[in-house]
Amino acid sequence: MRIRVDRGRCRGAGQCVLSAPELFDQSEDDGLVVVVDEQPPPTLHDKARLAERRCPNRVIRTVDEGKGDTGR
């Protein structure tokens, strides 16, 4: 899995950080999403997908290697 984000559309709601603090943070400068681990281990894939679903601005995409986007 690979995590992709569109920081240009992020509004800093922070749902990603609440859902998966191991994978996401917010910039101290502008409050926008920062990906901590773009290729998380399988044990964190469910959390990455949860953060993707909870993002109100739809800026997070999880891509399963060799399978393309998860459907967002």
Residue 17 is assigned to a structural domain of this protein: yes
pLDDT for res 12: 97
**For residue 33, what are the domain limits?**
2-65
- For the stretch 21-43, pLDDT in tens is 999 999 999 999 999 999 999 99
Q: Exposed, middle or buried by CB within 10 Å (0-12, 13-18, 19+), for 3?
A: buried
Nearest to 60 by CA among 68, 72, 47, 44: 72
How sure is the predictor about 65, in pLDDT bands with cuts at 50, 70 and 90? Answer: confident
- Quote the tokens at residue 56: 């109100």
| Number of domains present in the structure of the chain | 1
pTM (global) more than 0.85: yes
Sheet of 2-5, strands arranged across: 2-5, 60-64, 68-69
For residue 70, is it within any domain?
Answer: no
**For position 52, which CATH number holds?**
3.30.70.20
For the chain, give the percent of residues with pLDDT over 90: 89
Determine the pLDDT at residue 5.
98
In sequence order, what E strands does the chain have?
2-5, 24-26, 33-35, 60-64, 68-69
